[in-house]
Amino acid sequence: MAKKKKVEDLSAVNEEKSSNKLLVVILSILLPLLAISAVFLIIAKFTDVNVFDKAKELTGKLPFVDEEKDFVGETDLILEERVVTLQAELSEKETQLVKLQAEVEGSANEKKELLEKLEELQYEIEILKVEKDTTKRTFTEIVSTFERMSAKSAAPILTEMADEEVMRILTSMKPELLAAILEKMTPKDAAKYTSLMTK
């Protein structure tokens, strides 16, 4: 057992030595590189050289980096074209919107004008109805007046009136009154009005 413990101790010591050797090798390479880099950065600072720009220039000359730049350039170009296309579409939609708004306003104005005209026509219809009622009442009163008159008095008055008015009055009278009035007219006037009534 003591041998086994001794072997384990030896292997642990060997592992420590090998990891220490690896650490020494890494540090012996890494520390000088860091020191050299620091010196170059200090020199670049004093000579006003931008190290990052120079690194971009140098990496830009590498073949795979140029392809990436071309790809980025193409992507930018595609995006710019897409932006231009979308702006054109937006402009077209805005034009359509303005046109539609103008049509809506035109329709609203036309509707308003039609409503105003409709109100005017309804007002005129009401006035005409009142006038018609008044005229009808007046005409009825005239016919009634002629019916109350004697045939001898009504006949000469009717012959002096316009034919259209006489025809309206005569056609509105009762047949017996009409016959009495026509008897009191001259044969010429009676024939004329009788002829007009048959048409």
Token pair, residue 80, equals 């710019």
- pLDDT at position 95, please? 92
Residue 62 in domain? no
β strands within the chain, DSSP E: none
Residue 190 in domain? yes
The proportion of the chain whose per-residue pLDDT surpasses 70, expressed as a percent, equals: 80
CB atoms within 10 A of CB 25: 10
Give the structural domain span for 30: 15-49
Residue 39 in domain? yes
CA dist., res. 33 & res. 27, Å (int)? 10
Residue 174 in domain? yes
pLDDT tens digit string along 77-129? 888 888 889 999 999 999 999 999 999 998 888 999 999 999 998 988 888 88
Higher pLDDT: 139 or 73? It is 139
pLDDT tens digit string along 3-44? 555 555 556 556 666 667 777 777 788 788 888 887 777 887
In this model, does residue 144 exceed pLDDT 80? Answer: yes
Domain total of the chain: 2
Of 34, 49, 64, the domain-final residue: 49
pTM of structure: 0.36
| Pick from 176, 167, 177: nearest CA to 197 | 167
Please, what is the average pLDDT of the chain? 80
Residue 8 in domain? no
Residue 128 in domain? no
Instruction: Average the pLDDT over 128-156 and give the result.
Output: 82
Residue 27 in domain? yes
Residue 115 in domain? no
Q: Looking only at Cα atoms, what is the longest distance across the chain?
A: 173
In this model, does residue 1 exceed pLDDT 60? Answer: no
